[in-house]
Structure 1
Amino acid sequence: MDIVIPLFRLFEPLDAVGPYELLANVPGARVHFVAPEPGRVADVLGAMKVDVRTRYSEIESCDVLLVPGGAGARLMLNDTEFIDWVRRIHETTRFTTSVCTGALILGKAGLLKGLTATTHWMAMDDLETFGATYTAERVVRHDKILTSAGVSAGIDLALGLCALLSDELTARAIQLFTEYDPQPPYDSGSLATATPEVVARARELAAG
């Protein structure tokens, strides 16, 4: 069972590493990181660099494609070769998935047209330019296409995938093994609960 996660310059680290942590524990799963070119890929926060040995074009099929987001996802929208590869790989997958602004890449590839989908709340308008309808749900599934909201939502998506790729008992065991039992100290994790002041501060932080 091959799970492919493309990394690109300025990817959001938790988008990729969170799902990787869970999916790598699915029996029979083999997780492959791929990149535009073999070498060291730096995340958007700057401190984490991942050595990736495989160019994405070397992958002709996979069971699961998981596309992370980050500032680099927007840059990849202009990479016609990469977008064509995503579209082509989608034809071979059991599940094509995205985390955060990775949904914009699926949208650019034409995979979300006419569907409801989710992404980071700051990218909702961008998502709809690709013919999708944004929803604030944390994870959205349409047949084999799954999208998840910002950053940490990828862990929820991955846990659901664990069940789809194995069974619910295994998924629950992976949840326990990773001790995924979120109990955040604040209730500001979505636009529905965050105050206007928190939203404004989040926008300031995102702007750098």
Structure 2
Amino acid sequence: MPDDAPLHIAFLLFPDVTQLDLTGPAQILSRLGNARLDLVAKTPDPVRTDAQFSLTPTATFADLPRTDILCVPGGFGTVAAMEDEATLAWVRQVAAEAQWVTSVCTGSLILAAAGLLTGYRAACHWASREQLGWFGAVPVAERVVFDRNRVTGGGVTAGIDFALALTAAIRGEAHAKLVQLSLEYDPAPPYDSGSPARAEPETLARYHAMVDEFAPGRAEKVRAIAERVAERGAGG
């Protein structure tokens, strides 16, 4: 496409989304140039995030039947979104015509539940990555994964890297570097604890305890969804 071709970007918005999965990439992709961005939800009502504030949709599923770029964030609300047929139906609908079908963190599980990652390499949050395989996707332990027109980012902050990589793919590396500079994206974390490979054992234990508290039985629920998806597929 021409470097300055107009683009429409749609982010799925659902209750208990991790807001940084959405707002990090949105900040970067809003600087693609000649681009319009929408936050799309089932209804126009404000949607609570897992950061205890709400985001206001700019469009509903009914308002927006197509887009150029679909981006699906993750969060503690992922399982409920995977179980909501209206959400999955909209994701499938817009993905059918989108130039890019993308996700951040556990948003890739929503794409997988919609049948959009079968046979595709994909990233996810490290704690849920292997669950992609239950849906026929190929889990990849990388921060950003491109496979044809599917682009998936790892956990939460990987959404920034994902959006810069997608910007480069669409507008060129020079434009992506300009966006990075304009946002002073020059990470220097105070602790080397951003990966389970480097985190201290007690930190890992506290993380798993937190997940058990706020999303009890999440893995079992995802597996059950995957089994239902497989049964429907087998049934033709």
TM-score by length of 1: 0.95
- The answer (yes or no) to whether the contact 2:21–2:157 under 8 Å persists in 1 is yes
Q: Map residues 115-130 of structure 1 onto 2, 5 A cutoff.
A: 115-130=120-135
Mean Cα deviation higher: 194-203 or 155-164:
194-203
1:9 positional shift: 0.7
Q: How far apart, CA to CA, are the structure 1 residues paired with 2:75 and 2:94?
A: 21
Structure 2 residue ranges without an equivalent (≥5) = 1-6, 214-236
- The answer (yes or no) to whether the contact 1:6–1:56 under 8 Å persists in 2 is no
Aligned residue-pair number: 207
Paired position in structure 2 for 1:22: 28
Query: What secondary structure, in the 3-state scheme, does the structure 2 residue paired with 1:181 have?
Result: coil
Q: How far apart, CA to CA, are the structure 1 residues paired with 2:56 and 2:26?
A: 15
Q: Does 1:83 align with 2:127?
A: no
1:170 positional shift: 0.8
1:90 positional shift: 1.1
Paired position in structure 2 for 1:34: 40
Q: Please provide the CA RMSD for this pair.
A: 1.3
Q: What whole-Å deviation, never above 9, does each CA across 1:59-99 have from its counterpart, x for those lacking one?
A: 12111000000111210111112212211211211111000
Q: What whole-Å deviation, never above 9, does each CA across 1:18-49 have from its counterpart, x for those lacking one?
A: 00110111110111111111111110122x21
Q: How far apart, CA to CA, are the structure 1 residues paired with 2:83 and 2:72?
A: 15
- The answer (yes or no) to whether the contact 2:38–2:58 under 8 Å persists in 1 is no
Q: Which of 86, 92, 100 does residue 95 from structure 1 map onto?
A: 100
1:126 positional shift: 2.4
Query: What secondary structure, in the 3-state scheme, does the structure 2 residue paired with 1:207 have?
Result: helix
Paired position in structure 1 for 2:148: 143
TM-score by length of 2: 0.84
Paired position in structure 2 for 1:183: 188
Q: Does 1:44 align with 2:63?
A: no
Structure 1 residue ranges without an equivalent (≥5) = none
Q: How far apart, CA to CA, are the structure 2 residues paired with 1:52 and 1:85?
A: 15
Q: Which of 4, 10, 24 does residue 4 from structure 1 map onto?
A: 10
Mean Cα deviation higher: 186-195 or 65-74:
186-195
Q: How far apart, CA to CA, are the structure 2 residues paired with 1:166 and 1:32?
A: 20
